Chain A
């Protein structure tokens, strides 16, 4: 087909069983926008229910969206969709990585890659513009990701962008990542690539993405966007008092201040005051090493890194000589957020500083060493759950019970007890290489609980933070905007990865201002509660839930970074801290030349989200989503105890716990917002047809999965 603005118009299809590659037309999926939405449609059409994630019949889709590669701020993300091994029903789910991979893919002329089948031997995929070749990968199989990427780079050129798996993916662990660049990991689907004997995809593009608008129109909207953007997570007030700032927030990722440096840069770079009007200092606002690794990391910080076309740069790049001296690994480490914090979860006994160390140094070493190991082996942490599972199994005698005595005795528990991060060197090797029994910790919580018979207590214990018996943890759930975050997590097949609501609530401005904005967006100030001071469920919260679910899917389809977007708030007092939630549609219309309002795009995203729901119904073989899918673990709806040991009743200040009745009302109201069956929460024929998906309705009907 002819080239389209924004879209390249082409999907690369690869069958690794036959070795055949061919081109598909992107635009036949145009109702699903791009990235995640289009991937959902491909999974619906082509991967039957009951397929195992590691079977050749499963497909894995690497998706870029129409805004990717166009220079729109924070548009460098890659969406990956496939069956999810850690989910009990192997339901379809998506993982996401940043970096430069999807942008390079677009430059090579492709919107997406769909891989199916299984190669008889290890391979890697070489894409150089329209030249596609399946290359022998035996010489990189078994290598850690850092070596493998360097080796493939030596073949295809250092300008190539590579997405690869490590031993964890090759060994088909349920918890395995796909990584690109130095630090951009998508957790959950590494084993799917491994099952296909696909070590890596390397892509090099020499083209560009065509934009419908005139350059000056793009420049103008870009400038406008840059006036609205805040710091990472769209935090719009600084952490520390600044002369220009009306508000501050101690949780803000806008950490820049006078006297805070990228201390290992040459010469050191001061983050400074970062006035909101100064576009040139946007990339200095978020000192992510300071945020993630603590004040001790300042002098080790070389710079911030991040994804293509992102002015924020939320991945810190640090140089820590102690890593080389003590553990013989590269002292240069890059990562962000959970990549750094999950290793400290595994070291749950604490990592006290040793004599002679600075305050927080041992924790910094643990985080950077652990992130390097996890990134090299390609082990996914299930959003930090792996550490809590280690803690539970250790503290409750599970390891002693299930590990053969010889294996138990061989594990250096003394290092864990002492807080010596060398424990991680042993741990990740055992897990990624499937040694003994302990590696099953990377089966994911559902499978682990079954295999090791962890019992009801495991799910009910609040500090385990397990949100759902489907085996995924809290990820901006009830603690993020009360029922809004809680309900968002209920619609997921894995940790929710939704920041549309959490960024809004954590923007940093006072609750009264947030409520004013909430009233404009979702019809009532009651759409949002102050943290830990919740009111019962209402219809405007349900609108906020729907908006968050669909906006996040929209971002993963366009592809925009949902760790920044949507721009619901801004740092600008003169705008009364309002952002612009119509920006996605403005960019989409300018880039593609297809005029869409924000309501149009929201409807497109709703179509995709409803399809995702239908996929889950099909995977689980039941329409009763309310009962079988959308429930939480019991701690979520149990009153918590205050410091005095007394229960804090729900809906009184000081608690973020929910009640079962209120959550059921919440489910009903959200189902209603989506036009789904209010009893079961399944999409109805009428709604599917209204969204142009009669075929999906027919598919569900054929299996008896449409609600009565």
Chain B
């Protein structure tokens, strides 16, 4: 038991150290720290600190400590780690449409931590149009031409259009 706790501590130290450097810890990087036959995920499942959070990716789990980053930021890193730009853009848009609620300027994805190229963003948005699971993701343009994305699950068309115009144009005219 004492050994197990020591092992969990070592794994948590690694996660916390990674999080302090603003990176997620994939389970593959934890697995090399445990003795043969042991499973890092199970070690953490049986006992980890309240700050240690996890997200399941398509191939493995990712861990982070919320002492160093918020869940929302970790989600961005997780989506980046999954290397699926279409899903990243769609899920980020859904989160914003649901939470605030507001449409998402495509410029968001040019910024850190996404740092995507404009061409990559445009390609992802174009690809979404033909994939049924992204049918809720729509676009609207403000009168200055800025493109916004929104999820029709959470925002109506007129609402999204009105908000995009306000955020992009109205707000700047009313400082």
Determine the chain B residues whose CB is within 8 A of the CB of A656 once the complex forms.
Answer: 162, 166
Determine the chain B residues whose CB is within 8 A of the CB of A530 once the complex forms.
Answer: 101
State which of B100, B102, B166, B174 has its C-beta within 8 Å of the C-beta of A475.
Answer: B174
Known pairs A511-B101, A653-B158, A653-B162; A479 contacts B113 (CB<8 A): no
Determine the chain A residues whose CB is within 8 A of the CB of B172 once the complex forms.
Answer: 341
A422 contacts the other chain (CB 8 A): no
Which of B26-34, B35-43, B66-74 lies at the interface? B66-74
B132 contacts the other chain (CB 8 A): no
Known pairs A479-B166, A511-B100, A532-B166; A643 contacts B70 (CB<8 A): no
Chain B residue with minimal CB distance to A506? B171
- How far, in angstroms, from A258 to B175 measured CA to CA in the complex? 25
Which of A7-15, A72-80, A112-120, A235-243 lies at the interface? A235-243
State which of A250, A251, A652 has its C-beta within 8 Å of the C-beta of B158.
Answer: A652
Determine the chain B residues whose CB is within 8 A of the CB of A259 once the complex forms.
Answer: 112
Instruction: Please report the total number of A residues contacting B with Cβ < 8 Å.
Output: 40
Contact of A292 with B175 in the complex, beta carbons under 8 Å: yes
Contact of B167 with A245 in the complex, beta carbons under 8 Å: no
B156 contacts the other chain (CB 8 A): yes
State which of B76, B107, B162 has its C-beta within 8 Å of the C-beta of A532.
Answer: B162
Determine the chain A residues whose CB is within 8 A of the CB of B163 once the complex forms.
Answer: 531-532
How distant is A606 from chain B, measured CB to nearest CB, in Å?
A: 27
In the complex, chain B residues 101-150 whose Cβ is within 8 Å of any chain A Cβ: 101-102, 105, 107-108, 111-113, 140
Determine the chain A residues whose CB is within 8 A of the CB of B159 once the complex forms.
Answer: 532-533, 653-654
With a 10 A CB-CB cut-off, give which of B100, B102, B140, B156 has the most chain A CB atoms: B100
In the complex, chain A residues 240-259 whose Cβ is within 8 Å of any chain B Cβ: 240-247, 249-251, 257-259
How distant is B20 from chain A, measured CB to nearest CB, in Å?
A: 10
B57 contacts the other chain (CB 8 A): no
Determine the chain A residues whose CB is within 8 A of the CB of B155 once the complex forms.
Answer: 653
With a 10 A CB-CB cut-off, give which of A474, A476, A531, A642 has the most chain B CB atoms: A531
B47 contacts the other chain (CB 8 A): no
Contact of A243 with B175 in the complex, beta carbons under 8 Å: no
How distant is B155 from chain A, measured CB to nearest CB, in Å?
A: 8
Chain A residue with minimal CB distance to B64? A243
State which of B68, B100, B161, B162 has its C-beta within 8 Å of the C-beta of A243.
Answer: B68
A384 contacts the other chain (CB 8 A): yes
- How far, in angstroms, from A465 to B167 measured CA to CA in the complex? 17
Contact of A341 with B166 in the complex, beta carbons under 8 Å: no
A337 contacts the other chain (CB 8 A): yes
How distant is B7 from chain A, measured CB to nearest CB, in Å?
A: 27
A27 contacts the other chain (CB 8 A): no
Contact of A479 with B174 in the complex, beta carbons under 8 Å: yes
Contact of A246 with B174 in the complex, beta carbons under 8 Å: no
Contact of B112 with A257 in the complex, beta carbons under 8 Å: yes
Chain A residue with minimal CB distance to B19? A243
Contact of B173 with A251 in the complex, beta carbons under 8 Å: no
- How far, in angstroms, from A569 to B105 measured CA to CA in the complex? 25
Contact of A243 with B174 in the complex, beta carbons under 8 Å: no
State which of B70, B156, B160, B171 has its C-beta within 8 Å of the C-beta of A245.
Answer: B70
Known pairs A653-B158, A653-B159; A244 contacts B111 (CB<8 A): no
Determine the chain B residues whose CB is within 8 A of the CB of A652 once the complex forms.
Answer: 158
- How far, in angstroms, from A34 to B68 measured CA to CA in the complex? 45
Contact of A241 with B156 in the complex, beta carbons under 8 Å: no
In the complex, chain A residues 254-302 whose Cβ is within 8 Å of any chain B Cβ: 257-259, 292
B55 contacts the other chain (CB 8 A): no
- How far, in angstroms, from A214 to B174 measured CA to CA in the complex? 42
Chain B residue with minimal CB distance to A640? B162
B58 contacts the other chain (CB 8 A): no
Give the number of residue pairs across the A-B interface with Cβ within 8 Å: 92
How distant is B146 from chain A, measured CB to nearest CB, in Å?
A: 10
With a 10 A CB-CB cut-off, give which of A479, A480, A506 has the most chain B CB atoms: A479
State which of A245, A258, A533 has its C-beta within 8 Å of the C-beta of B112.
Answer: A258
Chain B residue with minimal CB distance to A530? B101
- How far, in angstroms, from A244 to B64 measured CA to CA in the complex? 13
A317 contacts the other chain (CB 8 A): no
Contact of B170 with A479 in the complex, beta carbons under 8 Å: yes
- How far, in angstroms, from A530 to B97 measured CA to CA in the complex? 12
Contact of B100 with A643 in the complex, beta carbons under 8 Å: no
Determine the chain A residues whose CB is within 8 A of the CB of B99 once the complex forms.
Answer: 247, 510
Contact of A250 with B108 in the complex, beta carbons under 8 Å: yes
How distant is B167 from chain A, measured CB to nearest CB, in Å?
A: 6
How distant is B64 from chain A, measured CB to nearest CB, in Å?
A: 10
In the complex, chain B residues 51-104 whose Cβ is within 8 Å of any chain A Cβ: 68-73, 76, 99-102
State which of A240, A244, A654 has its C-beta within 8 Å of the C-beta of B70.
Answer: A244
Contact of A648 with B174 in the complex, beta carbons under 8 Å: no
State which of A341, A474, A654 has its C-beta within 8 Å of the C-beta of B156.
Answer: A654
Contact of A648 with B101 in the complex, beta carbons under 8 Å: no
How distant is A204 from chain B, measured CB to nearest CB, in Å?
A: 33
A351 contacts the other chain (CB 8 A): no
Determine the chain B residues whose CB is within 8 A of the CB of A511 once the complex forms.
Answer: 100-101
How distant is A420 from chain B, measured CB to nearest CB, in Å?
A: 21
- How far, in angstroms, from A246 to B72 measured CA to CA in the complex? 6
B9 contacts the other chain (CB 8 A): no
Contact of B171 with A648 in the complex, beta carbons under 8 Å: no
Known pairs A241-B73, A341-B175; A655 contacts B113 (CB<8 A): no
Known pairs A250-B167, A292-B175, A479-B170; A243 contacts B70 (CB<8 A): yes
How distant is B70 from chain A, measured CB to nearest CB, in Å?
A: 5
Contact of B174 with A251 in the complex, beta carbons under 8 Å: no
- How far, in angstroms, from A251 to B172 measured CA to CA in the complex? 9
Determine the chain A residues whose CB is within 8 A of the CB of B112 once the complex forms.
Answer: 240-241, 257-259
With a 10 A CB-CB cut-off, give which of A245, A250, A476 has the most chain B CB atoms: A250
A338 contacts the other chain (CB 8 A): yes
Determine the chain B residues whose CB is within 8 A of the CB of A245 once the complex forms.
Answer: 70, 72-73
Determine the chain A residues whose CB is within 8 A of the CB of B105 once the complex forms.
Answer: 250
Determine the chain A residues whose CB is within 8 A of the CB of B157 once the complex forms.
Answer: 654
State which of B69, B162, B171 has its C-beta within 8 Å of the C-beta of A655.
Answer: B162
B17 contacts the other chain (CB 8 A): no
Chain B residue with minimal CB distance to A646? B158
Contact of A654 with B76 in the complex, beta carbons under 8 Å: no
- How far, in angstroms, from A623 to B41 measured CA to CA in the complex? 75
Determine the chain A residues whose CB is within 8 A of the CB of B71 once the complex forms.
Answer: 246
- How far, in angstroms, from A655 to B156 measured CA to CA in the complex? 12
- How far, in angstroms, from A511 to B111 measured CA to CA in the complex? 24
How distant is A620 from chain B, measured CB to nearest CB, in Å?
A: 27
- How far, in angstroms, from A249 to B72 measured CA to CA in the complex? 13
- How far, in angstroms, from A648 to B22 measured CA to CA in the complex? 45
A-B contact pairs, 13 of them (CB 8 A): A241-B112, A246-B71, A246-B72, A249-B100, A251-B167, A257-B112, A531-B166, A532-B163, A648-B162, A653-B162, A654-B156, A654-B161, A655-B162
Sample of 14 more A-B contacts, CB < 8 Å, known A251-B171, A384-B173, A532-B163 = A241-B111, A243-B22, A243-B69, A246-B70, A250-B105, A476-B174, A510-B100, A510-B101, A530-B101, A531-B166, A533-B159, A643-B140, A648-B162, A656-B162
> Ordered nearest first, which 3 A-B pairs have the shortest CB separation?
A654-B158, A653-B159, A337-B175
